[in-house]
Chains A and B, each alone.
Chain A
């Protein structure tokens, strides 16, 4: 249609103001799409923190507490689980494997997790298993494998000797000096909380606490509670079922078991619940970016509206040539639609350029992968709405031009 090409020429003639308008729309579109992309990235990375585990079982407590303490290394465990109980569930016919977790110690602010070789075989995040950047898994009660970030921050290499502390505070008054550990493995980066944890064997923890007690250290308190020297204390365990359809049944069985009160959670469900809480922030972000877009579109409206006064001659000329008032409206609406479309396209380009530039630093710093995936359906809908809204906004100056071209006719009283 010739009017669209006229609109294009008209915009090019006012290049500076057109580019500024496009830039403001592009920035707000980039913000909107970028936040949407980031949101999906964060959510996927969040949901990928733990995979393949059917149930996480802790002492009776809140779902969020069990999830935060076992998977995210935050909050304190809800209590401890006796070894007998653990053994009993491990032997349950529906259970294929288990990973015991014993929490309660730390090293310079990083959590220490006592576990077994099962952890390095079974634990999955984003469908990957835990691998080593260097070294291997701990096998004796004097060995420790450390997360990537721990190694980076504390500059530990293989062979370093470290001492654990009781409790999880950065500054601890109770250090287990009598039982030091040697770093035998550095876990490859996972971009999950694993990077910020240290892994020792259950025997390691038992021996360390035993050595402490034998020395008469009276600073032991709280979990992990100890029963005997041979039974390592645990605070939680992860399990996989033989048949995933049995998960719900098993969860109910565990939650209702009266011998020792437990809380069994399904990681996917618990993560989704937690995300609902965290997700409120993303709604706020989205709202802010929507307002930014509104401001961008209003800016376009103002720019077009302000240009009309100086374009009344142009409108009169078009009218004289035979353009009806409707063509004048179509011209202005085409201009705003072209601006919005250009802004939307430039915004998408900006987002991908930004993603390409930021992916490295963001992953290094915040530990989640920004993927260069195509536009999702939500994003396409956003873009369509931007162009639609831009076109509709164009009706405002178009209406003004329509009115004045009717009033002016062929004469313009400037």
Chain B
């Protein structure tokens, strides 16, 4: 296909090449603008049918739970959730004794950028060559054939954010993906989801660059590094804002020099890119909140917020989400003060946004059980929490953090029909996702191999048990 481009495309391609060289696009009136979506999503939902799930226990995702309820989806959207829905549908699924939740969302994953097999050739998750790599985009490293995507889908994951690693103060842009099998990254990209910018506090950046005798080697070096970058980004934004304003009166005015690194930081200052900040400790999160105020952006979501419980009030007051593990601890000093009720304590404050995340290709497969650990340990210790509350930590709150809560994250009318049918209470250790739907189309079925996708990498491997059986020649 690529060898036989019709001739008519050539001038267009040439023009595109030239504008790329210039670093910017150009409006008809000659004003230079930056293409904010140069690698656009090509995701389109698979064919869907209208489906009525009947008599399920339904966790809406917004804190509500319905018993013996029906869920109606059609045209890829949630149509209705309630009792005794009467509707002619293509498929009716008896969900008696089963549970239905929104598709699970993981705000912190490295699938595709640190894929399986984790071999040298695949280590694409962290551009550890400079403390500020705001110019890199995780989507450019995503290997869509990571078998981890399929495993996560079997655990009910329908949406996930892929982030760069945490060695840098600014690690680069994250990307939000639909968990759909595709052989291109664009085919998975969540349409119109905002970009994220990964920042990192604490031990990692100062260890990685300190060992190279480069700033930062201390926590104060970390802060200095952020502030210098934001100061520069502020100048950059001012230059572009000035250009746009001046252009109104004088169309010969020259645009500022394009800088890919500063484009990302400017995107944050413009409120278009959301901060996702690897930050464990209370005192550091408190400073990152002030840093945002100093440079006029919002500090966003704190990831791995092990000490979120120490500043639950502050997080809620400033509208910061905190994404947390239920019980990871002890691997670094900044992870030493874990408490099992961390998520519940952060959640207990009004206007909070508590999230359970994985940061793992293993626990992403059971984020429901990760949330369950918090739910039950908190209940053991006097917290008034139920399943309907805990589900928010892995659905609606996660969607909020990613800026996609108007599109997914709960089973509310007109949202994308991202739905998981569980064999039982999803907070049980025995829970398994039976069927998973993405925009109303089935993408996983535990009992039907036709809906169990397989990565190119795994296809036909002679050492796989199933292939050993298949490849035996009948004698």
A, B assembled together: no
